[in-house]
Amino acid sequence: MGRFKVIIQDDEFGEVMVRRSALARGVKFSVDTSGRLAMSVPAHTSEFLARRFLKSNRDVIREKLPVRDPSEQRARDYQKKILMKKAREYLPYRLEYYAKLYGYSYSRCRLTHANTRWGSCSSNRTISLNIGLMKVPEVLRDYVILHELAHLNHMDHSKAFWAEVGEHDPRYKAHEKKLKMFSPGV
């Protein structure tokens, strides 16, 4: 197990992500955002030992951790792949359109699949947009894009920030409320 991360195929749990860490003092099991079982192990742990830890802890894992069925994992991976493709074909161009229309300048557009955020804007002017935006109506996608563009001028949610969002999207309050009906997670 020479690499930092390795995937072990398991009949019961499907793909198990094994992360080797110099900081790990023991074996720790968790469930990652996709519902896969994840193991953190000390850096020197062999794949053989990782498999042995997995085998000897099956009952505890079944009891304590909400591991998804392997077929659900594959379905989610496929959905993420489709959404990423659609997002690549749409979101950067829509962001560029609004940036030019309203005179904004950003450094780059990044696509993510975070579970809790629709978008973000960093101090280095990188705008991140969640691929889950492809599951919501276009007017809500536009609201998120305009919201993140406004952060280029106001890195907070001050009155000035909301006034700027309101200049470009007069119905932003309704859009923000409607967006809460959806989940950014894939």
Which tens digits make up the pLDDT trace of 49-67?
A: 999 999 999 888 888 877 7
129: exposed, middle or buried (Cβ count in 10 Å: 0-12, 13-18, 19+):
buried
Side chain identity at residue 169, one-letter code:
D
Short-list 185, 117, 119, CA closest to 152:
119
Secondary structure letter of residue 67 according to DSSP: P
Give the pLDDT confidence of 91-103 residue by residue, as tens digits.
Answer: 999 999 999 999 9
What is the domain partition of the chain in residue ranges? 5-68, 79-179
| Rounded Cα–Cα distance for residues 117 and 144 (Å) | 10
The pLDDT, as a whole number, for residue 2 is: 45
Could you name the CATH architecture of 79-179?
2-Layer Sandwich (3.30)
> Exposed, middle or buried, 136 (CB in 10 Å: 0-12/13-18/19+)?
buried
H/E element holding 37? Answer: strand 37-42
pTM: 0.70
